[in-house]
Amino acid sequence: NAGVTQTPKFQVLKTGQSMTLQCAQDMNHEYMSWYRQDPGMGLRLIHYSVGAGITDQGEVPNGYNVSRSTTEDFPLRLLSAAPSQTSVYFCASSYSGGIRETQYFGPGTRLLVL
């Protein structure tokens, strides 16, 4: 199993550009989520999905869109990038999001918005 994979590893955008961060998992996990990591703030939840066709907002959803058309993929879209979105983005998955389950993280995408 490849686990959780993310592409690209690094991206530079100009303010106002759009892009999609890709996330895929091959563990047949129903639950997937996106976090952003900023210095001194730990990780904060952006959006999550409990299964194909179902998504919901997390703690910091503004400026981001998601969709879940398949169990394997959970892309994160930035519609109009802003410097405040400069961050490291992590995708995570678990079997069902249950309270005793371990969540598995991807390697991250480092995004710089100029």
Partner 1 sequence: GDSVTQMEGPVTLSEEAFLTINCTYTATGYPSLFWYVQYPGEGLQLLLKATKADDKGSNKGFEATYRKETTSFHLEKGSVQVSDSAVYFCALLGSSNTGKLIFGQGTTLQVKP
CA-CA-CA-CA dihedral for 110, 86, 106, 80, to nearest 10: -110
Minimum CB distance to partner 1 smaller for 54 or for 79: 54
The CB-of-6 to partner 1 minimum distance in angstroms stands at 8
**Under 8 Å between Cβ of 97 and 32:** no
The CB-of-80 to partner 1 minimum distance in angstroms stands at 26
Minimum CB distance to partner 1 smaller for 4 or for 78: 4
Question: Which residues are near partner 1 by CB under 8 A?
Answer: 31, 33, 35, 40-45, 48, 50, 58-59, 90, 92, 94, 97-108
State the burial class of residue 54 (Cβ atoms within 10 Å of its Cβ: 0-12, 13-18, 19+).
Answer: exposed
